[in-house]
Amino acid sequence: MNSESTTAPEKREKKRFKLSDLKGFKQMAPYLRPHRAGFTLGIFLISVSSILTLFVTRLWGQLGGVGIMGGEKSSVGNEFEGGILDGLDLNNLETIGWTIATVLLIQATMSFFRVYLFANMTEKMMLTLRRDAFEAVVSMPMDFYHNRRVGDLNSRISADITSIQDTFTLTLAELIRQSIMLVGGIAALAYFSVDLTLMMLVTLPVVVLVAIVFGKFIKRLSKETQDEIAASNVIVQEVLTGIVNVKAFANEWFERSRYTTSISSVKDLAMKGAIGRGSFASFIILFIFGAITLVIFKGAALMQSGDLASEHFFTFLLMTGLVAGSVGGLANLFGVVQKGLGAVESLMELLNEEREIKGLDSEIPTLNLRQPLRFENVNFHYKTRKDLTILNNLSLEIRAGEQVALVGPSGAGKSTIASLMLRFETPIDGAILINGKDVATMDLRGYRKRIAYVPQEVILFGDDIRTNIAYGKLDATDEEIRDAAKRAYALEFIENFPDGFATLVGERGIQLSGGQRQRIAIARAILRDPDILILDEATSALDSVSEKEVQAALEELMKDRSTLIIAHRLSTIKNAHRIVVLVEGEVAESGTHAELISNKGPYFRQIQSQDFV
């Protein structure tokens, strides 16, 4: 089949972060909605657990203060009086210890269920998202694959979804927890000492500003890294797919160099990220902890003057560290969220692409295509090459049950006609009609279910022979599969394998010879029992003996079926009901083999020039 040259993975547009960018996460709502009860409960558990962390921190401060006071009650008011802990002697070390142990046990239990809820929710979301992403990829029109590489699409399904999964499993919960810790911690600090809190808060705007700048840097860098990783994956995919060419031309060194250049770019981007993270970490250490030192100095002075109780001072120290950690954690989480946002945007672009099949779960109607098929004034060019006309006002009819052979020089449009019949491509002008009805109005999957296609280059799935033959009819019985193999003259070589139909064919069928792969493909077409048969050089890989055997099977298969034959072997086309000669996308002449020979036109000249074998 004709194909367009592939292009490098598309570079995603670099843009500054705006709040409107968060709409990417809004697009995840349909995947989150079925799990909203578990999500809400998880958020509740995170909130309670975060509050308990602040409470434990306060108890730790109480523990330190009581240790210094030697059991004496503080002269400063005790906020525990009249609360849920009223009645407990929180000036007693043992009581404080048991209270902390109880709270930690409750918090640990909540954390377990919170992690379970978020993991369960996320795994179910990702299951649906992976399925939808794969469905989107396989539901696209052929134009979509012409402009993209396999490695890039694979990266979308694997790397981007993994990034989204990490965001929802870990980052989202941690972001909520750190936010509660930050807000609750600042409120608690203000309760103990407004002066110390204000001193500490002077540092926050600077940290937030740096965090925003750093987050933008991480988002841009993560997109560039994902693009480079996709590009390196493309190289691996291409090399492994074309490993025969790599080996035959001894170009291993070249491919190594090409791959090394690509992964070097990944390394360079990673180092940029490391330098940025290192700079931010240095900033945190110098600025935040320097500020904490000043706060501690001021607090010690207040405690000396009697304006601050010792337990409150210890609590303030612990909570200041907690708040500082939350600020630093939020800055890091902001960068991770930006990375997840980039992955969401990338994946949603894929999911929102226009598809040729709207839903794979809809019922496939049964169509009858054993009717006259007609190309009516069809013009065609590929969208990326509008200057190159492939078919020019082509009109061609294939009557029901008729075998029509297409011949002509390379580039005349033979394989393009097959693509149009399969609806891999759409005419620019004109229409393809079956019994007068435009095929574009027919259900696509129902239409293709009634067509069997045997290409020149057969690519098998890396499963066993039985599975590859059964691909033509997924619910076929073993008896039907065996009969199809027999009619395709494939049974003998299959049964000569030690594992028979369970023989693994290897990646793309590499374990089989070209002729064996071709006969497996023909067996698959026989099993399908189609209304329309398309043979694109279907016997090109066979030796003369196998060709005769397969040709006999094909002639049996072609009875009462509209058949399009593209071939360069005279033995394959001379018995066709009609031969159509294409020249530069137009029908030059048509007729039987004998008629065209007597006309001494393009067909005759091709035979004379030994274009046919």
What digits encode the pLDDT tens for the residues 144-166?
A: 887 777 767 777 778 788 888 88
Q: Looking at residue 406, what is its pLDDT? A: 92
**What is the distance, to the nearest Å, from the Cα of residue 429 to the centroid of all Cα atoms in its chain?**
34
Please indicate whether residue 142 or residue 433 has the higher confidence score (pLDDT): 433
Positive or negative torsion for Cα 307, 310, 313, 319: negative
Last residue within a domain, chosen from 301, 320, 351: 351
Q: Examine the domain organization and report whether 271 and 383 are in the same domain.
A: no
Choosing from 321, 351, 381, the residue where a domain stops is 351
Assess if residue 592 is contained within a domain: yes
From 251, 224, 227, 226, select the one nearest 238 (Cα to Cα). Answer: 251
Which is more confident, 284 or 184?
184
Q: What is the CATH number of the domain that holds 347?
A: 1.20.1560.10
Is there a single domain that holds both residue 426 and residue 309? no
**470 pLDDT higher than 80:** yes
Residues paired with 562 in a beta bridge: 532
454 strand-pairing partners: 535
Whole-number pLDDT of residue 76 = 44
Average pLDDT, the chain: 79
At 12, the pLDDT band (50, 70, 90 cuts) reads: very low
Could you tell me if residue 505 is inside a domain?
yes
| Listed range (271-275, 427-431, 549-553) with the worst mean pLDDT | 549-553
Helices of type H across 478-534: 478-487, 491-496, 514-528
Helix (H) or strand (E) run with residue 374 in it: strand 373-380
Q: What is the pLDDT of residue 516?
A: 85
Q: How far apart are CA 399 and CA 434, in angstroms?
A: 10
Q: What is the mean pLDDT of residues 294-308?
A: 75
In a domain, residue 303? The reply is yes
> Are 497 and 542 in the same domain?
yes
Contacts of 55 (CB under 8 A, 6+ apart): 103
Q: Are 489 and 519 in contact (CB under 8 A)?
A: yes
- Residues 228 and 88 placed together within one structural domain of the fold: yes
577-587 pLDDT per residue, tens? 899 999 888 89
- Give this prediction's pTM: 0.70
Residues 423 and 296 placed together within one structural domain of the fold: no
Rounded Cα–Cα distance for residues 340 and 326 (Å)? 20
One-letter amino acid of 563: T
If one counts every other C-beta atom within 10 angstroms of the C-beta of residue 70, the result is 7
Q: What is the pLDDT of residues 454-467, one digit of tens each?
A: 887 788 888 899 99
φ, ψ of residue 89 to 5 degrees: the values are -85, 90
* Whether residue 117 has pLDDT greater than 50: yes
Query: Does residue 459 lie in a domain region?
Result: yes
Q: Range of 604's domain?
A: 373-608
The residue type of 200 is M
Residues 328 and 383 grouped into a single domain: no
Q: How many domains does the chain have?
A: 2
Q: Are 142 and 229 members of one domain? A: yes
* Tokens 């065996």, located at residue: 482
| Average pLDDT of span 208-234 | 73
List Cα–Cα distances, 84 to 80, 97, 217, 582, 613, in angstroms: 8, 17, 46, 91, 96
Higher pLDDT, 46 or 19: 46
